[in-house]
Amino acid sequence: LTITAVEAIPYRIAYRKPLRFASGEVTHADHVLVRVHTADGHVGTADAPPRPFTYGETQRGMVAVIESVFAPQLIGLDASRREVLHQRMHRTVANPVAKAAVDMAVWDVLGQAWNMPVTRLLGGYTDRMRVSHMLGFDCPDAMVDEAERMRDTYGITTFKVKVGRRPIDDDVEVVRALRTSLGSKAELYIDGNRGWSASESARALRELSDVGLTLAEELCPADDVLGRRWLVAQTPVPFVADESVSTPAEVTREILGGSATAISIKTARTGFTGSNEVLSLATGLGVEVVMGNQIDGQLGSACTLAFGCAKKATSARAGELSNFLDMSDDLLTEPLRIVDGEMLAPTDPGIGVHVDPDKLAHFRLD
């Protein structure tokens, strides 16, 4: 399983409609496809979505760090020696999404070589996850229409609502409208992407106290250290740390510091190996997790699904798996399917999905 090449292929696929949220907007999947080749002919594949507004990575920067720093460190190494691989990559600080994609591509190689789905290698807890759909900013009517369409077409009944706009009343109105339209059984939670101050967040939570939210995510910045602790101490539902926890150490800091009471796990930023570390920390510290979405395409969503299905704690809640539905096209030979609000983990060896060479040739930018 000697690694012979690590490719970083930039590609661009348009979204049918942009996803807007408090820290930015995404109109195109300007991602990087990472492929790890081994001497015996295995090719592991994973996806790296750059999020400059979250981690500072860019598409060109990710290609550069993978080709010029990681590839020379990894070529010649046996793919099964993941600890060596990680120690080498971690000589470079930051770059979480580029590292995560290399990690997952290597797991894909191992699954293929050992003839086993990665989700089984990681734990094999269940074969399916319930799906949560993320609703980007729009007017109340449009957000309600989208939620109803997701429910009627795919059976999805869990929704994460983007908030963090000013004045806060606009978002409060949206969440109320969703509750009215979807009824008491639908699960609703909010994600502010750091858009509000701690006091605005507290006011919004008070105004929404009768709406029955199940989670509140990154309503204000973690860097507002005392304000955020003050907010979390009065939040009646788990307060999810997402972009404030891109490493295991940050998980420890946010939880022990009282700045979060739940963790969003994103395979796009911690891969499979780092997500395992984050999950162990979260369960060890006694806080809940949710499988988050980095505005992933189908390959990235398949990775989230593989990890989510592998463990009891990650499959307990609905995972954010559906935003690929808004892309105008994708790279896979077989599209992922959502039926009755659930997704089934792929059963082929490795990550278990396959890139269509013609689609890649069409969308690649290099």
For the annotated catalytic residues, the residue numbers are 162, 191, 217, 242, 266, 294
For residue 80, what are the contacts with CB-CB under 8 A and spacing of at least 6? 1, 110
Alpha-carbon gap, residue 259 to 270, rounded angstroms: 20
Cβ atoms of residues 324 and 297 within 8 Å: yes
Give the interface with ligand MUC as residue ranges (CB under 6 A): 21, 51, 54, 191, 193, 242, 292-295
Instruction: Return the number of the residue (104 or 241) whose C-beta is nearest ligand MUC.
Output: 241
Give the nearest distance from C-beta 108 to Mg ion in angstroms.
26
Instruction: Rule CB under 5 A: say whether 296 interacts with Mg ion.
Output: no
Q: Which does 273 bind (CB under 5 to 8 A by kind): ligand MUC, Mg ion, none?
A: none
Which of Mg ion, ligand MUC, none does residue 295 bind to, with CB < 5 to 8 Å depending on kind? ligand MUC
**Whose structure tokens read 């979505």?**
49
Q: Measured from the CB atom, is 112 or 246 closer to ligand MUC?
A: 246
Mind giving me the DSSP string for 264-314? EE-HHHHHHHHHHHHHHHHHHHT-EEEE--SS--HHHHHHHHHHHHH-HHH
Closest CB 21 distance from Mg ion, rounded Å: 8
Q: Which of residues 225-284 bind Mg ion (CB under 5 A)?
A: 242
54 binds, among Mg ion, ligand MUC, none (CB under 5 to 8 A by kind): ligand MUC
Could you say which of Mg ion, ligand MUC, none residue 307 binds, taking C-beta under 5 to 8 angstroms by partner kind?
none
Residue 191 sits in the site that holds Mg ion (CB under 5 A): yes
At its nearest, how many Å lie between Mg ion and the CB of residue 230? Answer: 21
Residue 192 three-state SS: coil
E-only strand ranges, the chain: 3-21, 24-38, 43-48, 128-135, 158-162, 187-191, 213-217, 239-241, 262-265, 288-291, 319-320, 342-344
Interface residues with Mg ion (CB under 5 A) are: 191, 217, 242
